[in-house]
Structure 1
Amino acid sequence: MKKLMALTLALLMTLSLAACGGKKTEQPAASGSNDSSAPAETAAFAPSKNITWICTSSAGGGSDIFSRKIADIMKNDNLVNGQTIVVSNETDGSGEVGRNKVATMKAGDADYTLLTFNSGDLMPMVKNTKNRSSNFRILAIMAVDKQLLFSCPTSESKTDYAKAGGDQTDFAAAIEAAKNGTFVVIGGSKGDDITTYGKLLAEVGLTEQQMGYITYDSTSDAITAALGGNVDFVISKPAAASQYVESGDLTPVLALANERYSGNLADAPTLSEIGDYENVEVPVWRGVAAPAAMSDAAVAFWSDALGKVSASDAWHTEYLEKNQLLDEYKDTAAATEYVTAYEADYMAANGLS
């Protein structure tokens, strides 16, 4: 009897060990493990609280219009999981304070912070600070913008050119007046506006002492100066100036592009049409960035959401067509490559390191 019981017990133990041996127990990798063979899985991201969108330009300017239109489409098309996007205009230090705030943001809030980031933001940033595009996650490029010169001939102008009877609807006349000793003033924003002004000056053969430039924090501020008669002409993209053209307060006088615009901007000639000059054109890409600390999952979410905005009817009809921009969506990978190359070319051309 004892032998039978021992044999039965041994058989049960054998069966138990066989069952355990058929299944390998997975041990979790230790924290900080360098085992590159383990598959990396990233949990999907979906917003669960309000999003802050920082725009380093004043309300009413081109960048502000761009930011708010995307925020509206994301909300209306339910792309942000029912959360609210709050646009914050942070213009201190010509926008550098806001950009640095985003660049240095820590993980956590980083997933819920977006930044309007254009070529006009990048140029002064790399010229005046140590910040570089690599300090951000570039989420997308959405469109390409171009510029015009506008005037407000109905304002009580305070400039020398206006007092001398200068024609603010004829930029060719302004060029000749500047060459003959009358100081002409152009107003505009920073970055690409200043670059455009410099190229315009070089092409028409004038100096800053003949045709000066006043820098404002945003295009909307520069337009306000034009409406108040403090500058003769103002550089602006169509988006920021459109409402004033429609109301008759601004007149488009020069298309800073290789061909004329259409619609209510069609009367503005190109530079080659008013004299023996080459056209001046400085295309402005408009994009969206985020803190470098944003998670990969959040980057993928926002790049995809921006792609859906770019494909929407509202984006095409209410923004691109209305403001005469070119459709130019690039996702996070393509946009990062493009911005990195753009930055390198700009720095090389300006002797920056």
Structure 2
Amino acid sequence: MKKLFVVLVCVLALSGVLWAQGNAEAAKYPDRGIEFVIPGSAGGGSDILGRTIADIIQKYKLVDQTITIVNKGGGASAVSHGYVNAKTDVDYYLLTCNSANQLSMHVNKSMSPKGPFTPIANMALDDILLVSRTDGKFPDWASVEKAIKANPSSLTVGLADDLDAMALALLEEKTGTKFNYSAYFASSGEVATALLGGHMDLAILNPVECVGLVEGGRLTAIGSFAPKAMSAPFEKTPTFTALGHPDVVMQMSRSVIGPAGMSREAQLFWSDILQKVSETEEWKVGYIQKNVLEGQYLNADDFTKFYGESEKMLLDFAKKLGIL
């Protein structure tokens, strides 16, 4: 009987050790550094999003491991997607994503053969602007409309991705205009630089991509695709609805996704971390307010639904406008 008792004690002790080890291993994730991949170059909207998130996580020690920003611009997000698709340890990679990337992955077929990317969290909604040089020939939409209707395709508009092209196609369709929009660049930062250098007449940019240049008086936002009037420094920028074109409305989502095949554990882990990020003052004031965005956090499950619905809408719209 005594031997049986000793055996039982040993079995229970061993079970306890194994249970503790199993839980310790489960609690370890992430047990090494994370790469946060940006489908664009430094200074663009996606880069600002990724670096802001990483800085907040590290400031508040929300994750024990280091987060390394990796810029992989080019190919309308195809380079970044290909880089991540080649990885096998998929739980250790995050990507910024936006509506343009969602569309581009279908245009350039850069999704993984293993399946779709893993939605983690939506973080914000971003408006879209038509922008000109402040010292240029086009101080407002009326001057643009007059010039382009007198001489179709005479004005060049800088674009960074397929969503920019879709926004311009929408503007053309609803206003009866025709632009030359062959000026594609690897990132929005390059678009802004080219516009400032006089290499184009206009550009499609998000507020986060030009707010400093607008505040500095170098660029002027002459029309907004936003559904309602925007806040400073774009409070004087008329929406196209106010300009008499109520169907010229479009917004971009800004989010975080994981590679195809990311585990549910990792997906929920980062969804929770990103919720904590969205609740900080640095996020609300230093990112959302500063860059004239609309805060909209959606957790993994809500974002998965939103992601699917927005993807369908984008693809239907792109086919209608001839983007696909």
Within the candidate set 82, 89, 98, 2:71 is matched to 89
Taking a change above 3 Å as real, the CA distance of residues 244 and 287 of structure 1, as seen in their structure-2 partners, is same
Query: For residues 278-308 of structure 1, what are the alpha-carbon distances to aligned partners after superposition, in whole Å with 9 as ceiling and x for unaligned?
Result: 2522111111111224333222221111110
Query: For residues 67-95 of structure 1, what are the alpha-carbon distances to aligned partners after superposition, in whole Å with 9 as ceiling and x for unaligned?
Result: 111111011011121x3222111113222
Q: CA deviation at 1:323?
A: 1.2
Partner SS, residue 26 of structure 2: coil
Taking a change above 3 Å as real, the CA distance of residues 17 and 90 of structure 1, as seen in their structure-2 partners, is closer
Amino acid at match of 1:180: A
Taking a change above 3 Å as real, the CA distance of residues 92 and 189 of structure 1, as seen in their structure-2 partners, is closer
Name the structure 2 match of 1:102.
84
Q: CA deviation at 1:17?
A: 10
Within the candidate set 256, 260, 275, 2:225 is matched to 256
1:184 aligns with 2:151: no
Mapped partners of 1:258, 1:337: distance in 2 = 22
Q: CA deviation at 1:20?
A: 10
My pick for the range that moved more, 264-273 or 62-71, is 264-273
Amino acid at match of 1:66: L
Structure number, greater radius of gyration:
1
Name the structure 2 match of 1:57.
40
Mapped partners of 1:128, 1:142: distance in 2 = 25
Mapped partners of 1:19, 1:71: distance in 2 = 53
Amino acid at match of 1:112: Y
Amino acid at match of 1:335: F
Query: For residues 107-152 of structure 1, what are the alpha-carbon distances to aligned partners after superposition, in whole Å with 9 as ceiling and x for unaligned?
Result: 2xx2221101111101011122162794322111111111111111
Name the structure 1 match of 2:104.
124
Taking a change above 3 Å as real, the CA distance of residues 345 and 19 of structure 1, as seen in their structure-2 partners, is same
Partner SS, residue 241 of structure 2: helix
Q: CA deviation at 1:242?
A: 0.9
1:195 aligns with 2:166: yes
Mapped partners of 1:59, 1:204: distance in 2 = 34
**Structure 2 gap ranges (5+):** 13-21
Taking a change above 3 Å as real, the CA distance of residues 147 and 347 of structure 1, as seen in their structure-2 partners, is closer
Taking a change above 3 Å as real, the CA distance of residues 232 and 342 of structure 1, as seen in their structure-2 partners, is same
Taking a change above 3 Å as real, the CA distance of residues 49 and 16 of structure 1, as seen in their structure-2 partners, is closer
Amino acid at match of 2:310: Y
User: Structure 1 length normalisation: TM-score?
Assistant: 0.79
Name the structure 1 match of 2:128.
147
Question: 2:227·2:250 contact (CA, 8 Å) conserved in 1?
Answer: no
Mapped partners of 1:105, 1:47: distance in 2 = 16
Question: 1:54·1:98 contact (CA, 8 Å) conserved in 2?
Answer: yes
Partner SS, residue 265 of structure 1: coil
1:43 aligns with 2:11: no
CA RMSD in angstroms comes to 2.9
Percent of aligned pairs sharing the same letter: 30
Name the structure 1 match of 2:302.
334
Question: 1:54·1:115 contact (CA, 8 Å) conserved in 2?
Answer: yes
Amino acid at match of 1:258: P
Within the candidate set 101, 115, 132, 2:95 is matched to 115
Amino acid at match of 2:299: D
Taking a change above 3 Å as real, the CA distance of residues 102 and 18 of structure 1, as seen in their structure-2 partners, is closer
Name the structure 1 match of 2:274.
306
Mapped partners of 2:50, 2:8: distance in 1 = 58
Name the structure 2 match of 1:163.
none
After TM superposition, list the pairs within 5 Å mapping 1:204-243 onto structure 2: 204-208=175-179, 211-243=180-212
Taking a change above 3 Å as real, the CA distance of residues 178 and 71 of structure 1, as seen in their structure-2 partners, is same
Mapped partners of 1:105, 1:325: distance in 2 = 32
Amino acid at match of 2:69: V
Partner SS, residue 201 of structure 1: helix
Query: For residues 5-41 of structure 1, what are the alpha-carbon distances to aligned partners after superposition, in whole Å with 9 as ceiling and x for unaligned?
Result: xxxxxxxxxx579879999x89xxxxxxxxxxxxx98
Taking a change above 3 Å as real, the CA distance of residues 80 and 19 of structure 1, as seen in their structure-2 partners, is closer
Taking a change above 3 Å as real, the CA distance of residues 76 and 176 of structure 1, as seen in their structure-2 partners, is same
Question: 2:135·2:218 contact (CA, 8 Å) conserved in 1?
Answer: yes
Name the structure 2 match of 1:295.
263
User: Structure 2 length normalisation: TM-score?
Assistant: 0.86
Question: 2:44·2:189 contact (CA, 8 Å) conserved in 1?
Answer: yes
Name the structure 2 match of 1:268.
237
Partner SS, residue 58 of structure 1: coil
Q: CA deviation at 1:272?
A: 3.4
Q: CA deviation at 1:55?
A: 0.4
